[in-house]
Amino acid sequence: MSTLVAARRQRVDDGARGGSGSGVTLAAAVLGFFVITLDAVIVNVALPSIRRDLGGGMTGLQWVVDGYTLMFAALLLSAGALSDRVGARRAFATGLAVFVVASAACGLAPSLGALIVTRFVQGAAAAVMMPASMALVGQAYPAPAKRARAVAVWAMGGAVAASAGPVLGGLLTLATWRLIFFINLPVGVAALTLLARTEHSPHRKVPFDWVGQVTAILGMGGLTYAAIEAGAEGLTAPGVVTAFAVAVTALAAFLAAQARGAHPMMPLELFRSRNVSIAVAVGFAFMVGYYGLPFVMSLYLQQLRGLSSLATGVAFLPMMLAGAALTPFSARIAERLGARVVITSGLILMAAGLVVLAVVPSTPVWALAVLMVLVGLAGPLVSPPVTAVLLNSVPAHRAGTASGVFNTSRQVGGALAVAVFGALLANQATFMHGLRTSLLLAAGVALASAVASLLLKTPSKQGRSATEAALAPAGAAGVGALAGSTAAQGAGTR
């Protein structure tokens, strides 16, 4: 009898855990992903206001954007292992607390330098939060079907942030740009309050690739610094040459560590697969245009066309909404036409939109908003199918790692786009020439990746859906690495 009572009590506890407890966990994870995505997109429309208030040149504005993206990209692969070591709940709580404090510091920043430093801290905290949030969802919903629905809800947090970010940023900036960071405080406090009602997460010892992590930061940071400073100082400036040398040396050391290390964060054998190599390249190229466009157009619409921050945000709204509207149908379109056709078509559509924007930037603002829709539509046509191809091209136990590598390539693409395009826009006298060059360069990168995507092969079936396979590992390093690649499809991340 006691055994029956204990079993019944266990079923009741499991039901409670799978009901309201799971819902609370999911709500906390959704809010976390919301602020992570929001801070990647909301800052673009506020850049001219930040410059007027804190001073500084184009280089400073580039670091305001890239400080966040760079740290997010550099730490993302290792953040999953950290989450496994300390437990997803503790990692998420720590990352979120640091993110909230850094957001407050951003809003109170007395100088541009202080703002840049706190943006670096924000990006590092976001990297810790991202895999931990997905691990929490995986733990709260162990059944694959319920987990898949929970992941879809989680992804909507990023989708809402990506769509609303430009308009919300423009609206808040009308009062003061500092509000775009203060808005994170109530959201973060709400998420922490919900998290306090969730159960503790298991933790386990996992290897950590210290050499790979340090050399990755040095390589990405050196390359980004060199690209940004080249616009202000020139390619032959001693600091720029030194930064390039550091980047090349660090990246060589990183590759050596990945080839010889016992537990590499980016196993090089992944790239023996043609599909993996092409997918990573497509992810990089896609973000060059998708992230670079809002950066250059935000500056153009406010500095040269005289639009307010709110009007600029509204100009981006059709682009964001068009991508969000098409996202639910992207899988069905890919199934009917084939992933390769859809990916190639999306990249060509993006390239065409960028070329037209480069040729006719002086058209009415409403026409520019319509033309940017071409780039917005490319999001759901490229990201979801290329992620599916990637995940179906690797063994199930490698899905999390492959997803992390893919997402890191995306973030690096976005960071370098801001670095290079900002350098081209640094001289106000040649701003329009720099604008056209930036858009045409992004179009060229998209077109080159479209040609490469023609070489994609139809992957063999793995017996499970890509999402289920990537979520299968128990730890955050497995489930969390998927975060930026699959969920960002609905978000249209950046």
* pLDDT value of residue 117: 95
> What one-character DSSP code corresponds to residue 269?
G
* pLDDT value of residue 488: 41
pLDDT in tens, 51-70: 999 988 888 888 998 899 88
Question: CA-to-CA distance for 232 and 295, rounded, in angstroms?
Answer: 18
* pLDDT value of residue 357: 93
* pLDDT value of residue 282: 93
Q: Are 374 and 349 in contact (CB under 8 A)?
A: yes
* pLDDT value of residue 478: 40
Cα Rg of the chain, angstroms: 22
Q: Are 362 and 454 in contact (CB under 8 A)?
A: no
Mean pLDDT, range 393-402, rounded to an integer:
74
Q: Which domains does the chain have, with CATH numbers?
A: 2-208+263-491 (1.20.1250.20)
Residue 494's alpha-carbon distances to 30, 184, 240, in angstroms, are 17, 18, 27
Ranking 52-56, 194-198, 394-398 by mean pLDDT, the lowest is: 394-398
* pLDDT value of residue 56: 80
* pLDDT value of residue 134: 78
Ranking 98-102, 196-200, 465-469 by mean pLDDT, the lowest is: 465-469
* pLDDT value of residue 206: 64
Ranking 100-104, 130-134, 368-372 by mean pLDDT, the lowest is: 130-134
pLDDT in tens, 108-158: 999 999 999 999 999 999 988 888 887 787 777 877 777 767 777 777 777
Q: Are 182 and 168 in contact (CB under 8 A)?
A: no
Q: Are 468 and 151 in contact (CB under 8 A)?
A: no
pLDDT-based confidence at 371, cuts 50/70/90?
very high
- Long-range CB contacts (< 8 A, 24+ apart) of 99-105? 99/35, 99/36, 99/125, 99/126, 99/129, 99/184, 99/188, 100/184, 100/185, 100/188, 100/189, 100/192, 103/35, 103/39, 103/181, 103/182, 103/184, 103/185, 103/188, 104/181, 104/182, 104/185
Q: Token pair for residue 472?
A: 């299968």
Residue 263's alpha-carbon distances to 45, 206, 232, 401, 406, in angstroms, are 41, 9, 40, 12, 18
pLDDT(482) > 50: no
DSSP characters over 422-484 = HHHH--GGGHHHHHHHHHHHHHHHHHHHHHHHTT--PPPP-SS-HHHHHH-SSSHHHHGGGII
Q: Are 35 and 187 in contact (CB under 8 A)?
A: yes
Secondary structure of 143-210 in HEC code, one letter for each residue: CHHHHHHHHHHHHHHHHHHHHHHHHHHHHHHHHCCCHHHHCHHHHHHHHHHHHCCCCCCCCCCCCCCH
Q: pLDDT averaged over the chain?
A: 81
Question: CA-to-CA distance for 72 and 221, rounded, in angstroms?
Answer: 12
pLDDT-based confidence at 204, cuts 50/70/90?
low
pLDDT in tens, 7-56: 444 443 444 444 457 888 888 888 988 999 888 888 988 999 999 999 88
pLDDT-based confidence at 397, cuts 50/70/90?
low
* pLDDT value of residue 201: 62
Q: Which of 185, 41, 31 is nearest to 104 (CA)?
A: 185
> What one-character DSSP code corresponds to residue 20?
I
What proportion of the chain, given as a percentage, has pLDDT over 70? 85
Question: Helix-strand-coil percent breakdown of the chain, rounded to 5?
Answer: 85, 0, 15
Mean pLDDT, range 411-419, rounded to an integer:
88
Q: Are 239 and 274 in contact (CB under 8 A)?
A: no
* pTM attached to this predicted model: 0.81
* pLDDT value of residue 450: 94
Classify each residue of 429-443 as buried b or exposed e, where b means 16 or more C-beta atoms within 10 Å of its C-beta.
eebeebbbbbbbbbb
pLDDT in tens, 431-462: 899 999 999 999 999 999 999 999 988 765 54
DSSP characters over 53-113 = HH---HHHHHHHHHHHHHHHHHHHHHHHHHHHHH-HHHHHHHHHHHHHHHHHHHHH-SSHH
pLDDT in tens, 355-367: 999 988 788 999 9
pLDDT in tens, 295-354: 899 999 998 888 998 999 899 889 888 887 887 788 788 888 888 999 999 999 999 999
pLDDT(493) > 50: no
Ranking 66-70, 146-150, 208-212, 378-382 by mean pLDDT, the lowest is: 146-150
